[in-house]
Amino acid sequence: MALEHAILVSLLEKPGSGYELARRFERSIGYFWTATHQQIYRVLKRMEADGWIDVREVPQQGRPDKKEYSVSGYGRTALGEWLHEPIQPESVRHELAVKIRGAAFDDPRALIGEVRRHQRMHRDQLEHYLAGERRDFGAVDAPPCDGVRPDAGRELQHAVLRGGIAYERMMIAWLDDVLDTLHRLGPGR
Amino acid sequence: MALEHAILVSLLEKPGSGYELARRFERSIGYFWTATHQQIYRVLKRMEADGWIDVREVPQQGRPDKKEYSVSGYGRTALGEWLHEPIQPESVRHELAVKIRGAAFDDPRALIGEVRRHQRMHRDQLEHYLAGERRDFGAVDAPPCDGVRPDAGRELQHAVLRGGIAYERMMIAWLDDVLDTLHRLGPGR
DNA sequence: TACTGCATGTAAGATGTTACATGATTAC
DNA sequence: GTAATCATGTAACATCTTACATGCAGTA
């Protein structure tokens, strides 16, 4: 029941159409919460019916008109309430871990290519995050100047991005470990 | 479409009933793939109908009879095929990350307690993993003796466990970073 | 007597995925 | 002309979650 809330956060950061939200869920917020455009349109309708968001028809030239959604006061309250609720344990799905354990019943070395492929994807994602960090948060971490209030949104987005970076680095290192293990084991049973 | 395969792996490691599988999905394999007993019973039925698993009625004394499932040759083939398929990108859901970004539109400091709670849970999970590692894989990493074939299943389970350990350590460190950030930001807008 | 563990299920509803559908503009 | 981008949706199906349901044995 949190796609609604992810959408609220995204619309508070910047109002936009269903299409634009779908694009954001392919990057940025999508690194921590995925959704397809079909889901988004369905949920936007419900949120509008519930009064969490307002719509504004935006006529455009050279491209189809769009509906720009923004968060209503009511939606903001709903987000606040959600923020104060404790999170319940998330359901985990690490398909690669299941495959690694399954490899014991097959030829373990057959997984090597797949693990390498994943490692490459994680390296790419890390590069992507680091490029984003350089672009959006600069290379130097300037110490906060006295009297200058740090921008909470920016700081928090950066903190989340640092989490993504730490995750990718951890995965790359772990997959090195897995590759070592797979190489040590001979051909399967 | 991978709960089937997680069940195949678990049943290959050790045959068992639906109830026992449900318990395993609360520990061990459950650290990488979650499932409730309702899901498990439903999928076991389908797998049996598809001939992936065999059932054996086991009468018991002092407790209800159970159905012990084990993987058939056909199921083993299905697992092998799945192992050779490339994994497609998994859908991510990090509710805490969404909340952290959302905190910019509320009082960031209100999240501190929740973040601390998560950090405690990750510390507990780390302790749990480390205890399991000591118990199941011993404190010393004995160098492989010549001629002694390492047990693939054991080695791979250990590799997956090391992944869990690395993940928890990364999360604990990142949440320290997040706590620093939340403290630096004053009360919300 | 009440609770916990073992053991198996059904049913309803929410959510997520995949495929289909339309139509204009812009770039190659 | 062909493909990609912008923009919005519907429909069917699969999966997941939550609640309900049963019944016996052992323990506090």
The rounded distance, in Å, linking the Cα atoms of A161 and A177 is 25
What string of DSSP letters covers A103-128?
A: GGGS-GGGGHHHHHHHHHHHHHHHHH
Contacts of B12 in chain A (CB under 8 A): 102, 104-105
H helices, E strands: number in chain A? 7, 2
Signed CA dihedral, B43, B45, B49, B51: sign only:
positive
Protein-to-nucleotide distance from the CA of B7 to the C1' of D28, whole angstroms: 37
Q: Flag if A97 and B2 touch (Cβ within 8 Å).
A: no
Q: Report the protein residue whose CA lies nearest the C1' of nucleotide C18.
A: A38
Q: Is B181 on the interface with A (CB under 8 A)?
A: yes
Residue A124 Cα to chain centre, angstroms: 15
What are the tens digits of pLDDT across the range B68-118? Answer: 999 999 999 999 999 999 998 888 999 999 999 999 999 999 999 999 999
User: What is residue A89's predicted lDDT score, i.e. its pLDDT?
Assistant: 84
A73 interface with B at CB cutoff 8 Å: no
Return d(Cα A126, Cα A118) in angstroms, integer.
12
**For range B28-57, the mean pLDDT:** 96
Q: Which helix (H) or strand (E) holds B66?
A: strand B66-71
Q: pLDDT tier at A178 (50, 70, 90 boundaries)?
A: very high
pLDDT digit string, tens, across residues A98-149? 999 999 999 999 999 999 999 999 999 999 999 999 999 985 655 555 555 5
Query: How far is residue A121's CA from residue A167's CA, in Å, rounded to a whole number?
Result: 13
Quick one: what percent of chain B has pLDDT higher than 70?
A: 92
pLDDT at A29 (0 to 100): 95
A156 in contact with B at a CB cutoff of 8 Å? yes
pLDDT above 90 covers a percentage of chain A that reads 84
How much of chain B, in percent, has pLDDT values that exceed 90? 84
Res B58: pLDDT: 94
Q: What pLDDT, on the 0 to 100 scale, is given for residue A61? A: 84
The SS3 call for residue A71 is: strand
Q: Using the structure, give the distance in angstroms from the CA atom of B22 to the C1' atom of D22, rounded to a whole number.
A: 19
> Whole-structure pTM over 0.75, yes or no?
yes
pLDDT band of residue B143 (cuts 50, 70, 90) is: low
pLDDT in tens, A25-46: 999 999 999 999 999 999 999 9
Cα separation of A155 and A171, whole Å? 24
Determine whether B137 is exposed, middle or buried from the number of CB atoms within 10 Å of its CB (0-12, 13-18, 19+): middle
Find the mean pLDDT for residues B29-41: 96
Closest partner CB to B99 (pick from A83, A103, A174): A83
CA neighbours within 13 Å on the CB side: how many for B123? 9
Under the banding of pLDDT at 50, 70 and 90, the label for residue A188 is: low
Provide the mean pLDDT of chain A. 92
Interacting residues of A96 by C-beta distance below 8 A, sequence separation 6+? A114, A115, A118, B87
pLDDT level of residue A150 (50, 70, 90 thresholds)? confident
- Smallest Cα–Cα separation from A155: which of B163, B53, B178? B178
Which of B94, B125, B151, B169 is the mutation pick for testing A, counting most A CBs within 10 A? B94
| Burial category of A137 from C-beta neighbours within 10 Å (exposed 0-12, middle 13-18, buried 19 and up) | middle
CA distance A88 to A5: 15
* Model pLDDT, residue B50: 95
Q: How far apart are the first and last CA of chain A?
A: 45
- From chain A, the residues in CB contact with B84 under 8 A are 110
**Predicted local confidence at residue A148, as pLDDT:** 56
pLDDT confidence bin for B149, thresholds 50/70/90:
low
**pLDDT at position A43:** 97
Residue holding tokens 């014991």? Answer: A104
B56 has which bridge partners? B68
B145 has pLDDT over 90: no
* Res A62: pLDDT: 84
- One-character DSSP codes across B120-155: HHHHHHHHHHHHHHHHHH-SS-PPPPTT----HHHH
pLDDT attached to residue B104 = 96
Spatial distance between the Cα atoms of A129 and A132, rounded to a whole number of angstroms: 5
Q: Which nucleotide is nearest to B39 (CA to C1')?
A: D16
Q: What is the DSSP string of A143-188?
A: PPPTT----HHHHHHHHHHHHHHHHHHHHHHHHHHHHHHHHHS-S-
Confidence class for position B24, pLDDT limits 50, 70, 90: very high
pLDDT at B187 over 90: no
* Alpha carbon distances (Å) from A148 to B127, B182, B183, B185: 41, 16, 16, 11
Question: Does any CB of chain B come closer than 8 Å to the CB of residue A152?
Answer: yes
Look at residue A103 in the predicted model and tell me its pLDDT.
96
Contact assignment for B162 to A174 by CB distance below 8 Å: yes
Instruction: Please tell me the predicted confidence (pLDDT) of residue B71.
Output: 98
Select from A90, A183, A111, A12 the least CA-distant residue to B171: A90
Which residues make up the interface with nucleic strand D when CB must lie under 7 A?
A 17-20, 22-23, 37-38, 41-42, 44, 60, 63-67, 91; B 1, 3, 34-36, 38-39, 62-64
**Nearest residue to A99 (alpha-carbon basis) of B46, B163, B137:** B163
